Amino acid sequence: MRKISIKQLLSEYAEGRRDFRNSDLSQADLFECNLQGVDLQGSNLTQAYLPYANLSRANLQDVQLQGAELSNARLQMSNLTGANLQQTNLVRADLAYSQLEGVDFGAANLQNADLYGANLKDANLRSADLSGANLKRACLDNANLQGCNLARAQAVDLQTAIYDSTTIFPDGHRGDR
């Protein structure tokens, strides 16, 4: 993994480069940055500051984003397969049609996030806050929703998801299989 400065990343991106795989951008301040279509596969963005950033159509497979700030970020149609987003703030983030298979969202804040058509198969959403989130047409096959808050979430299909008595359902009640 190679450390890259924010200045270098933005300069090379502006020149047309998109491949920044295995980069160390931990704690980077990328507020409102446009990195649409960037390839950051395998990179470290732990505790990065990315509110209002445009990362749509980005390759973020196996990226480390623990504790990152991604509120209001645009991540539509991005690939985050296998990424670690534990304790990440994704309030009002747009993740529509994104590949989120196997992503670790443990204790993440996804309040009012747009997950329309997202693939959350095998995702870990244990103790995540999805209150008010849009889950229309989202795939939740084998997703772990134990301890998850789904209060006021839209169009949640829990038929193939894993939940328990600590899961808060969209109507506010707790349930168990």
CA dist 41 and 55 (Å) reads: 13
**Average pLDDT score over residue span 81-99:** 98
Judge contact between 96 and 73, C-beta under 8 A: no
* Residue 25: per-residue pLDDT: 98
Type of residue found at 110: L
Q: For residue 7, give its domain range.
A: 1-177
CA dist 77 and 75 (Å) reads: 6
Residue 3, judged by CB atoms within 10 A of its CB (0-12, 13-18, 19+), counts as exposed
Q: What is the pLDDT of residues 42-74, one digit of tens each?
A: 999 999 999 999 999 999 999 999 999 999 999
Helix, strand, coil % over all residues of the chain, rounded to 5: 5, 20, 75
Taking the alpha carbons at both ends of the chain, their separation in whole angstroms is 43
Residue 177 clears pLDDT 80, i.e. is over it: no
The total of other beta-carbon atoms located within 10 Å of residue 120's CB is: 26
Residue 4 clears pLDDT 70, i.e. is over it: yes
* Residue 88: per-residue pLDDT: 98
Q: What is the pLDDT of residues 95-136, one digit of tens each?
A: 999 999 999 999 999 999 999 999 999 999 999 999 999 999
Containing H/E element for 7? Answer: helix 6-14
Residue 157 clears pLDDT 60, i.e. is over it: yes
| Domain count within the chain | 1
CA dist 22 and 20 (Å) reads: 7
* Residue 176: per-residue pLDDT: 61
Judge contact between 31 and 6, C-beta under 8 A: no
Q: In the chain, pLDDT over 90 holds for what percent of residues?
A: 97
* Residue 82: per-residue pLDDT: 98
Residue 175's pLDDT band, with cuts at 50, 70 and 90, is confident
Query: Beta partners for 109?
Result: 89, 129
Task: Return the CATH number at 35.
Answer: 2.160.20.80
Q: What is the mean pLDDT of the chain?
A: 97
